[in-house]
């Protein structure tokens, strides 16, 4: 009993080290050729890229001071988000979007936009002329109907905080720039994972409601103190051991697989209910607590261990898949 208590305290201390965090590279099979190519050439395409599209909704084109100023502001605001790779931000307002023209001295390549967004008719006409000389920008950054354009920003994995990126994109990009004449849409792995972080509190609320429903069901079914306390106690201990072990390992828990440890705790809850129910069935006939416990243990040990081993094998197969 003392050893059991000591182990529980040991794992309980490890819980404070548990961290909910998404590490994108850990979600991919490390031995796959595509993954190895991605790691060897991190600057040649990156899945941790956020794409922002701004679209006119009133039928006008993007070639007007209001829209281009929004693109300019959004590009600079994205550049201020923590973890962004400043060298991999692309829009029609960055120096990477360029046009080329022939001169007596050779090919001259210049940015589409200067140090500010076009404001006057002359500046707008000059910008439009530059865009016509940039087939790459027309093909990849501007829609064919000229009513939408995109901004792309790549993030550095070791500096990326999905929750922060999602919140700042919502605040500095979508909420700040969306209006009656402009729609703004965002896509990309950081935003997709950011939704998981956004709904994290709701996920915890769902777990809490589920736990309360289990307790109510247990009370209505067992109708005795032992039948309620023991399953709850075993489930709590199982959770402490599981999360504490992960905490001592120092590995973060992926929020997307939080359902797995919850299912394991639910399994321990289920096993405890089965043991107690079987114990009372035997006690009803034997009328001896010690003997009933011995018989119950001998009867339930084999299927119980089989269930635990099956769960362990399932997790092992997931780990190596």
Tell me the pLDDT tens digit for each residue of 176-226. 889 899 999 999 989 988 898 888 888 888 888 888 888 888 888 888 888
Tell me the pLDDT tens digit for each residue of 297-315. 888 888 888 887 887 888 7
Instruction: Check if the beta carbon of residue 8 is closer than 8 Å to that of residue 240.
Output: yes
In angstroms, the Cα distances linking 23 to 128, 182, 253, 254 are: 42, 34, 9, 8
Token reading at 290 = 């010690």
The upper half-sphere exposure of residue 286, i.e. CA atoms within 13 Å in the direction of its Cβ, equals 15
Token reading at 197 = 């972080």
- The Cα angle at residue 32 between residues 27 and 38, in degrees rounded to 5: 75
Tell me the pLDDT tens digit for each residue of 33-72. 887 887 777 667 778 899 999 999 988 899 999 999 999 9
* 196 alpha carbon, distance to own chain's centre: 5
Residue 43: predicted pLDDT: 67
Handedness of CA 32, 37, 40, 41 (dihedral sign): negative
pTM: 0.73
Residue 93: predicted pLDDT: 93
Identify the CA nearest to 150 among candidates 294, 19, 288, 50. 50
Tell me the pLDDT tens digit for each residue of 214-264. 888 888 888 888 888 888 888 888 888 888 888 888 878 777 777 777 777
Question: Given the structure tokens 């010690």, which residue do they identify?
Answer: 290
Tell me the pLDDT tens digit for each residue of 258-300. 777 777 777 778 888 888 888 888 988 888 888 988 888 888 8
């Amino acid at each position: 009993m003392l050893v059991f208590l000591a182990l529980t305290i040991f794992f309980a201390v490890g819980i404070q080290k548990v961290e909910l965090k998404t590490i994108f590279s850990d979600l991919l099979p490390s031995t796959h050729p595509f993954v190895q190519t991605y790691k060897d050439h991190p600057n040649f395409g990156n899945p941790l890229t956020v794409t922002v599209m701004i679209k006119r909704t009133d039928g006008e084109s993007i070639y007007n001071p209001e829209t281009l100023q929004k693109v300019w502001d959004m590009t600079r605001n994205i550049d201020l988000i923590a973890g962004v790779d400043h060298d991999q931000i692309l829009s029609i307002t960055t120096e990477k979007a360029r046009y080329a023209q022939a001169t007596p001295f050779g090919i001259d390549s210049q940015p589409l936009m200067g140090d500010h967004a076009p404001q006057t008719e002359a500046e707008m006409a000059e910008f439009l002329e530059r865009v016509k000389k940039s087939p790459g920008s027309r093909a990849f950054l501007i829609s064919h109907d000229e009513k939408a354009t995109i901004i792309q920003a790549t993030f550095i994995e070791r500096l990326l905080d999905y929750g922060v990126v999602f919140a700042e994109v919502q605040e500095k990009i979508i909420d700040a720039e969306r209006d009656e004449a402009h729609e703004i849409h965002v896509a990309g792995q950081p935003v997709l994972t950011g939704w998981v972080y956004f709904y994290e509190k709701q996920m915890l609320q769902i777990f809490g409601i589920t736990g309360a429903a289990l307790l109510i069901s247990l009370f209505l079914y067992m109708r005795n103190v032992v039948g309620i306390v023991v399953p709850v106690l075993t489930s709590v201990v199982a959770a402490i051991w599981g999360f504490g072990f992960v905490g001592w390992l120092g590995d973060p828990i992926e929020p997307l697989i939080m359902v797995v440890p919850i299912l394991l705790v639910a399994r321990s809850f289920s096993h405890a209910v089965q043991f107690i129910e079987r114990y009372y069935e035997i006690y009803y006939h034997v009328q001896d607590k010690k003997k009933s416990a011995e018989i119950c243990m001998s009867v339930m040990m084999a299927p119980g261990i089989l269930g635990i081993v099956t769960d362990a094998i399932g997790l092992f197969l997931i780990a190596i898949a």
